[in-house]
Amino acid sequence: MTKQQKRYFGTDGIRGRVGDGVITPEFVLKLGWAIGRVFSQEGRSKVLIGKDTRISGYMFESALQAGLSAAGADVYLLGPMPTPAIAYLTRTFHAQAGIVISASHNPYHDNGIKFFSGDGSKLSDEIEFKIEAMMDEPLVTVDSALLGKAHRVDDAAGRYIEFCKSTVPSKVNFSNLKIVVDCAHGATYHIAPDVLKELGAEVITMGAEPDGLNINQNCGSTEPRLLQAAVLEHQADLGLALDGDGDRLIMVDHQGTLVDGDEILFIIAKAQQRLGTGKTDIVGTLMTNLGMEHALQNHGMNLHRANVGDRYVIEIMRKTEANVGGEASGHIICLDKTTTGDGIVAALQVLAEIQQTETSLQELASLVTKYPQRLINVRIKKSIDLANNAKVLAAVKSAEDKLADEGRVLLRASGTEPVIRVMVEGRDASLTNQLAIELADVIESLDTV
């Protein structure tokens, strides 16, 4: 029996270029109605809507609001707020669902809609299929007396700031830290600097002047070069780079060196171990650096690898009862603190460890020796069965034998483009590079047969 495929939902909601495909006002209006109908089947529902700072957010907020109201659902408008804030507020408002209008780290011309259930987690497959089925029904407006009402939540930012501060011990403050924070001209622009200031830090703010078009533009977690320069210029202790919707974090130490999600995940796991609050099981992804896995093993912890995507990381975290998990890209999930990836909360855990151990970010990250990694994207014209192709399997085995236990090979098909991703990781950079090229050549030769 083949698994049912979703028509609209990807691994993290619905996303695309504004005006193309389903990212249109008409579709989003109907989507709001469908969500309202699904969540109102057991009585009148309450749905929160938040967004990042891209210009199309206003248009889609209005469309969602109209659709939800037509279905009889009450709407609470949060304005520009980080994705994890919407997950948190959905729980605390006892809402049936939370909606985020955001395309995360993508440029301004993209947008998307993602969702949280009442407990602040991603929607189940069952609910997503129900919403998709409802999209096929004619849009029927409820009686005027039953239309949903709209409410503007004026204190949403303050509520979330207080929550973020509560995730570090009350006796910890950052009064001796100078921090540069890059908000990517995104949803954290009025949140992250205030959290750090209220915890005592000296804060230099970047990327906090959104104009609807500059979100993620040459800034944030995907473009941290300006942050690295600013940390050196201001002689800061460290820098934080968030992405457009605030669920990713990349850090920079006092020498301008990047500290990525793998290293941040290790630091938080090690801090919890030191405090006696951690678990031995930590969750990463197929792309998590082997050096990080070995660092965890050296400190008595085990790495479980999930498929790429925070949805899959959280799945494995729940199965293994892990406290922390994440991706090299900076999605860090602290399930003992919140229900989804949260860049600000992750940063605070690292800052608290810096303060409590009186060490620098550089020293904490130095416990991870990352292995050289070579990634080659091979564009293909036809599908290749990587799991069953004899030539591919032989080439992979040969590469793994040469790496022995000091490296690994990963081949995976992209889910969004006709590309096979060839990744080789090993202690020896020259061998790693050579093996990646040889494997890419094997894939290319198959595509021409």
Q: Are strands 46-51 and 97-101 parallel, antiparallel or unpaired?
A: parallel
Separation of first and last alpha carbons in the chain? 31
Of 146, 154, 68, 51, residue with least CA distance to 103: 51
Exactly one of 45, 56, 102, 104 is catalytic; name it: 104
Asked if residues 360 and 254 have their Cβ atoms less than 8 Å apart, the reply is yes
Calculate ∠ Cα 297-298-299, nearest 5°.
90
Joined together, the tokens standing for residue 112 give 């998307």
Calculate ∠ Cα 324-317-3, nearest 5°.
145
Strands (E), 238-299: 238-242, 249-253, 258-259, 281-285
Calpha distance 411→376 (Å, rounded): 10
- Tracing tokens 């609807």 back to the chain, one arrives at 212
Amino acid at position 136, single letter: D
Calpha distance 410→139 (Å, rounded): 46
What lies within 8 Å, CB to CB, of 33 at 6+ separation is: 67, 68, 70, 71, 134, 139
Asked if residues 45 and 132 have their Cβ atoms less than 8 Å apart, the reply is no
> What string of DSSP letters covers 161-188?
HHHHHHTS-TT---TT-EEEEE-TTSTT
Asked if residues 292 and 270 have their Cβ atoms less than 8 Å apart, the reply is no
Calpha distance 163→181 (Å, rounded): 19
Give phi and psi for 13, each to the nearest 5.
80, -145
Calpha distance 379→157 (Å, rounded): 44
Amino acid at position 403, single letter: L
Asked if residues 268 and 239 have their Cβ atoms less than 8 Å apart, the reply is no
Cα 399 to chain center, whole Å? 32
Q: Is 104 an annotated catalytic residue?
A: yes
Cα 434 to chain center, whole Å? 32
Name residue 259's beta-bridge partners: 251
Q: What is the DSSP letter of 203?
A: E
How crowded is the C-beta side of 441, counted as CA atoms within 13 Å? 8
Give the residue numbers marked as catalytic: 104
